[in-house]
Structure 1
Amino acid sequence: MKFYYVYILKCSDETYYTGFTSNLEQRFMEHQSGKYKESYTYNRRPLLLEFYQEFVDPNQAIMIEKQIKKWSKAKKEALINNEFEKLPNLAKKKFK
């Protein structure tokens, strides 16, 4: 069975990068080595793999990746820290 991964990297500038891959170890090494100069992570190395989730359906993984990419830093950190109870409140829009 083939697996697909959604992952979150923490960059040296304290930002997060969210991605999708079918080979997590290889993709992390590509980010870490700076294989792609045009990549968001290229000038933000070194990187830490903070989170990943495994999927069997690539379409579901891509959908989740797109969703997480839209999240705030606080919401990504709640996911990374397994603070799932915080996610609903972090999803609410703040109005003045």
Structure 2
Amino acid sequence: MGVYVYMLRCADGSYYVGSATGDDLGPRVDQHNAGAHPGYTFTRRPVVLVWSEYFDRITDGIAAERQIKGWSRAKKEALLKSDWDKVSELSRRRAGRPKSS
């Protein structure tokens, strides 16, 4: 069994990134809209599924979810548009220096 990583657009225009196991994301989106679990989307309903990707390996999906959660709004919107040039551009460090270790 794998995992879906998904992005929801909330009523306030913000984005929520999450993950869910199973064959169908519909019930998970329905849970968000029903307020079944308190959390980020509870006060930002209704939500709309705007992006998802299926990962065969749960560890890969969790890594992708964590990565996307750390992205800027602009980078998330580039992902939604499949604008890979923009995603790449927004991935560059602003100072142009390698990350120190």
TM-score when scaled to structure 1?
0.90
- 4+ residue segments displaced more than 3 Å: none
| 1:13 aligned residue | 12
| 2:2 aligned residue | 3
What is the identity, as a one-letter code, of the residue corresponding to 1:90? Answer: L
SS in structure 1 of the partner of residue 40 of structure 2: coil
- When Rg is computed on C-alpha atoms for both structures, the one with the higher figure is 2
Task: Give the unaligned 5+ runs of structure 1.
Answer: none
Quick check: 1:33 aligned with 2:44? Answer: no
Give the stretch that moved more between structures: 47-56 or 21-30: 21-30
SS in structure 1 of the partner of residue 28 of structure 2: helix
| 1:90 aligned residue | 90
Q: CA deviation at 1:92?
A: 2.1
Task: Give the Cα separation in 1 of the matches to 2:13 and 2:72.
Answer: 13
SS in structure 2 of the partner of residue 12 of structure 1: coil
1:38-70, Cα deviation, whole Å (9 max, x unpaired): x10000011110000011100000000000000
Quick check: 1:63 aligned with 2:63? Answer: yes
SS in structure 1 of the partner of residue 32 of structure 2: helix
Q: CA deviation at 1:27?
A: 1.2
Q: CA deviation at 1:36?
A: 1.1
Task: Give the Cα separation in 2 of the matches to 1:14 and 1:94.
Answer: 26
